[in-house]
Chain A
Amino acid sequence: MTLKEIVHILQAELVCGKSHINDEIEFAGGSDLMSDVLAFAKPGILLLTGLSNLQSVRTADIIGAKGIVYVRGKKPDPEGIKLAKKKDIPILLTDYMMYTACGLLYSQHLPGVYPVTDKKS
Chain B
Amino acid sequence: MIENEAVLAQQFEIQGRDFNHAGNISTTIKEILQETGIPPSIIIRTAIATYEAEMNVVMYADKGTLYFSLAPDSIRIKIDDRGTGIKNISLAMKEGYSTATNEYREMGFGAGMGLPNIKKNADKFKISSCPGKGTTLEILFFLNNSEGQ
Contact = CB atoms under 8 A, between A and B. Distances in A.
Interface of A: 32-39, 43, 51, 53-56, 58-59, 61-64, 79, 87
B108 A62 contact: no
A121 to B, nearest CB: 24
Contacts of A87: 27
Nearest to A83: B27
What is the predominant secondary structure among interface residues of chain B facing chain A? helix
A38 B40 contact: no
B141 interface: no
A38 B52 contact: yes
A33 B111 contact: yes
A58 B23 contact: yes
A35 B114 contact: yes
A35 B48 contact: no
A61 B108 contact: no
A36 to B, nearest CB: 6
Contact of B113 (A38, A51, A58, A63): A38
B109 A34 contact: yes
